Amino acid sequence: MTETIDTGGTAPLITPELVALDAAPGSDKSDVITHLAGVVAGAGRADAPEGLASDALAREATAPTGIPGGIAIPHCRSEHVLTASLGFARLAEPVDFGAADGQAADLIFMIAAPAGADDMHLKLLAKLARGLMRADFTDALRSAGSAEEVVRMVTEQVQPELLKDGASAEEASAPAAAPAPAAAPAPAAAPAPAVAPAGGERVIVGATSCPTGIAHTFMAAEALEQAGAERGITVRIEGQGSGKIDALDPELIKRADAVVFAHDLPIKGRERFAGKPVIDVGVKAAVNDAGRLIDQALAAIDDPAAQRVPAGAAGGQGAAEEDEGSVHWARRLQRAVMTGVSYMIPFVAAGGLLIALGFLLAGYDVANLYGKFSITDYSLTNLPGHEFVHTITNSAGDVLGTETITLDRSGLPLYLGWAFFLLGKAAMGFLVPALAGYIAFGLAGRPGIAPGFAMGVVAEAVGAGFIGGLIGGILAGYFAAWLAGLGVPRWLRGLMPVVVIPLGTTLVVGGLMYLVLGRPLASIMTGMQNGLTSMSEGGASILLGVILGLMMCFDLGGPVNKAAYLFGTAGLAANTTASFEIMAAVMASGMVPPLAVSVASFLRPRLFTKAEVENGRSAWLLGLSFISEGAIPFAAADPLRVIPATMAGGAVTGALTMALHVGSRAPHGGLFVAFAITNVVGFLLAILAGVVVTSALVVVLKGLGHRKAAAVAA
């Protein structure tokens, strides 16, 4: 048998040979899957039934494929599949496939996709998943009297272009020797209505995704759209399955009142939905009870406290590019860097706040103990005192002298503070490796993580810091992606992601970092640190504060905001006055937008919608906590007035913090980490000045727009 994967779009997915009616393969789902794998292989569509069964069972082990209504859809991509196929079994005795409603399944479809299946096959498979959410379709399958009847019904659902006028089920399902008519497949997602929703009608949009991108992705989308139709509202869902994505119309998204995300993978292009109320759940929740999710989304529309889609979502996925291959290289690189920054931030936040808490309990001098004394020499019953004597030795172990360190803290506060400080240092030690590792992940997927982390460690070892981690992660990601794209024999494919790619990438890129790039990158890092120190100590510090303030308030959690935040947090490891002042400018500026819009909506509520006024009542708390995203609903609704105003206030705050030499040893927390801020009075004055500027500008600009609209109406 020739092992050639059929990638043509006109081969039928199902034939009578792939249908087993009233079958009794066994009482366990593994028996059913093994039986269907044999059916697919017996029809000449797979080269090894045991291999296909193994791949399908491995997929089944990750999550049950049973769905409510007595249906199961085991599915997988497999190297053993020669032609995309649908194996179908109607069981004489239902078998449990783990459906949420507890009902055993009697209708079983095995979706067998080749490892190299193209977009056309994936769309056809998606249409089957949507059909199975309709009761009339499943009832007809249960009452079908022959395999040919099943073939016709399924073909009508997934490949209607193969059913020519007067064609029989056998003709439709027979493997055609002559070329089939060139017919474009219908899109996987239900198309948007030709007529736009009426002005007063509620509109809900969203996106779905599952790990394989084949079945549950589109079943969830169909279930949500059906639930919307039952309630008389417009619901349009973007199925983010494997292959090309049929993106939602941007105008429909703009009109939407709420968003539903049902996904097990990150949603691509989350920023398109920024500022809208969101229900965010796993994909199975939509398959099992879509009506409840739609009801929750409707309730969230009028709830000012409802969760909203933030701008600059983690992962940095782009808006509506058709697929990875069509994304411009610069855009793809930006996404990868943003992915690295997003995954790095939790390490920074946890580590920085633990260090700050350690300073609060043990005093700043606890840092002098690092690397000289071991906390394991003490315990809760043997607490440390004020004095520590450090023996200084050379590399040969000869004693050169002693050093006495005296602290103003002792006992339990010192012991606990020391422990928190060490925990924070350990977490901060992952800053550069996490940045590099997840940049590589953004470019190459999972195979890039290990070599990316290794490049981060190498960057630290050669003194290149976060600049080295950035470069090392990018190189590791591109090299790992190149290796992943090589055509290799089938026997080697299984070793590629776990052995060949990590080993080869670490060897090549690591060698390049150590032997070629290490010293130049370290020089760049040293020069930048020296430059920042000189700027923060001279008149240029105010200009630096203005730039950081503008960046923090430009996109409120987006790429520019994250770049400024990375700039501030990466410098904390240097433990210098300059780095602390930069961090303070970043944090204070980021607190201004939510505080200012809260003040503005309180002072002039007539200029804002009812929902914005309600949001303003909670935005002040987000501002005090340094959560810039609290201003997103206001910026999303009126960006041309709100964003320039927030940038102006941020620039004022950034400049004042630098001029007043405010410093922050904590990377997050806002006013709640005041204990880690030097010159707290200056910190508060700078924030107050920025809030006054921004709130005044928002009121003035919105007032002008309000009067203009009133004049036009008159």
Domain map of the chain by residue range? Answer: 16-161, 203-306, 334-515, 539-713
As a whole number of angstroms, the distance between CA 653 and CA 643 comes to: 15
Give the architecture (CATH level 2) of 203-306: 3-Layer(aba) Sandwich (3.40)
Give the pLDDT of residue 175.
43
Give the pLDDT of residue 88.
94
pTM (two decimals): 0.50
As a whole number of angstroms, the distance between CA 370 and CA 372 comes to: 6
Token pair 């990377």: residue:
667
Number of helices (H) and strands (E), helices first, in the chain?
A: 24, 14
User: Which residues contact residue 663 at a Cβ distance below 8 angstroms, ignoring those fewer than 6 apart?
Assistant: 577, 580, 581, 583, 584, 677, 678, 679
DSSP SS3 for 310: coil
User: Which residues contact residue 61 at a Cβ distance below 8 angstroms, ignoring those fewer than 6 apart?
Assistant: none
Indicate the pairing of strand 66-67 with strand 663-664: unpaired
Measured in Å, how far apart are the chain's first and last C-alpha atoms? 80
CATH topology of domain 16-161: Mannitol-specific EII; Chain A (3.40.930)
What the block records as the tokens of 50 is 């045991």
DSSP labels for 519-536? HHHHHHHHHHHHHHHHHH
114, β-bridge pairs: 78
Name the DSSP letter for residue 248: P
321 HSE (CA, 13 A, CB side): 14
Give the pLDDT of residue 532.
61
Q: Residue 414, Cα to own-chain centre: how many angstroms?
A: 39
As a whole number of angstroms, the distance between CA 190 and CA 702 comes to: 39
Give the pLDDT of residue 6.
40
Give the pLDDT of residue 34.
93
Angle at 357 between CA 377 and CA 353, to 5 degrees: 115
Name the DSSP letter for residue 418: H
Give the pLDDT of residue 334.
75
Determine contact, residues 366/421, Cβ cutoff 8 Å: yes
The residue count of the chain comes to 714
Give the pLDDT of residue 300.
92
Give the pLDDT of residue 680.
93
Same fold, 16-161 and 203-306: no
Spell out, as residue ranges, where the chain has pLDDT lower than 50. Answer: 1-9, 119-121, 165-195, 312-326, 709-714
Q: pLDDT tens-digit profile of 393-429?
A: 777 777 787 888 888 888 999 999 999 989 988 888 8
Determine contact, residues 240/263, Cβ cutoff 8 Å: yes
Active site residues: 75, 210
DSSP SS3 for 710: helix
Give the pLDDT of residue 198.
55
**In what helix (H) or strand (E) does residue 278 lie, and over which residues does it extend?**
strand 278-281
Give the pLDDT of residue 656.
95
The pair phi, psi for residue 262, each rounded to 5°, is -120, 105
- Which letter, b or e, does each residue of 268-282 get, where b requires 16 or more Cβ atoms within 10 Å of its Cβ? bbbbbbbbbbbbbbb
